[in-house]
Amino acid sequence: MKDGFRHEHKYLISTQCAVLLKHRLQGVMRRDPYAGPTGQYTIRSLYFDDEKFTAYGEKLDGLRDRIKYRIRFYNYNLDQIRLEKKEKHEELTRKTGERISREEALYLQKGIREGGLTGKGPLMRELEAGIRCGLRPAILVDYDRTPFVCSAGQTRITVDEHIRTRPYSPDLLASPGAMVPVLEDGMAVLEVKYNDFLPGHLSEVLEGIPKVPLAISKYVLCVNTI
């Protein structure tokens, strides 16, 4: 397998099935320790694209090699922000990232038209170059995630609910109440990620859950909604 790339599968499931699945998974997987006592956290992502929404179009066209950039933080806490690059190569995906400061996040979202920063990481310099070639903040995406992990196959299974969006806003902490729901009522997104293999006992758990393969990403769902 190409270095750092993983299998990733996405499905639409009902919220009733999500409740059942979470109950079953907690018996065979560990809760993600970052999820805290509730077992859930809220993710906010700011995606970058160009004026023609090229990344969006590449996904719709089924391009086998694609890249997306996003700024991401959790539970609306700007003290821990990550810059991430999501790569797609044929049927595999890879995510790389680095911590950035609030100052660096604001620098990127303002289009880096003025001044500059020292000590930038390699991924930030890469996105900075992309911004100079036309990338810009495009859309905000929020959702509530319940994550489970398993060391076998480095497996990660997540249930994402209440996916919501809004066009790009200069305020990274824009009110969640101003967001627009993306999915129909009663629906959630299941994501399954693993390295070389999906453990058999987890495959059996998933086979017992009615689900529909989801060919498009949350980013595309959100752009379609707006």
Please answer whether residues 132 and 107 qualify as being in contact, where contact means their C-beta atoms are separated by less than 8 angstroms.
Answer: no
Contact criterion met (CB below 8 Å) for 1 and 94: no
Q: Average pLDDT for residues 155-180, to the nearest whole number?
A: 82
Q: Is residue 168 part of a domain?
A: yes
CATH of the domain at 177: 3.20.100.30
Expressed as residue numbers, the domain containing 97 is 6-225
Sort 37 into a burial class: Cβ within 10 Å, 0-12 / 13-18 / 19+: exposed
Residues listed for the chain: 226
DSSP alpha helices (H): ranges in the chain? 15-25, 54-60, 102-109, 122-132, 200-207, 218-225
The pLDDT tens digits for 66-80 are: 999 999 999 988 889
Chain centre distance of CA 114: 29
Bridge partners (DSSP) listed for residue 72: 45, 82
Residues of the chain with pLDDT > 90: what percent?
Answer: 60
67 phi and psi angles, rounded to 5 deg = -140, 140
pLDDT digits (tens, 9 = 90+) for 91-105: 899 999 999 998 888
Q: With contact defined as beta carbons under 8 Å apart, do 125 and 186 qualify?
A: no
State the pLDDT at residue 40: 95
The single-letter DSSP state of residue 168 is -
| Total structural domains within the chain | 1
pLDDT tens profile 177-207: 678 999 999 999 999 999 999 999 999 999 9
For 132-158, write each residue's pLDDT tens digit: 889 999 999 999 999 999 998 899 999
Cβ-proximal residues to 162 (8 Å cutoff; 6+ apart), any chain: 142, 143, 144, 181
- Residue 15 belongs to a domain: yes
- Rounded distance between C-alpha atoms, residue 188 and residue 119, angstroms: 40
- Partner residues linked to 180 by β-bridges: 165
CA distance linking residue 218 with residue 143, whole number of Å = 10
Q: 19 to each of 29, 156, 184, how far by Cα in Å? A: 15, 17, 17
Residue 63 domain flag: yes
In a domain, 1, yes or no: no
What is the residue whose two structure tokens read 């993983």? Answer: 6
The rounded distance, in Å, linking the Cα atoms of 9 and 191 is: 6
Q: Is 18 within the bounds of a domain?
A: yes
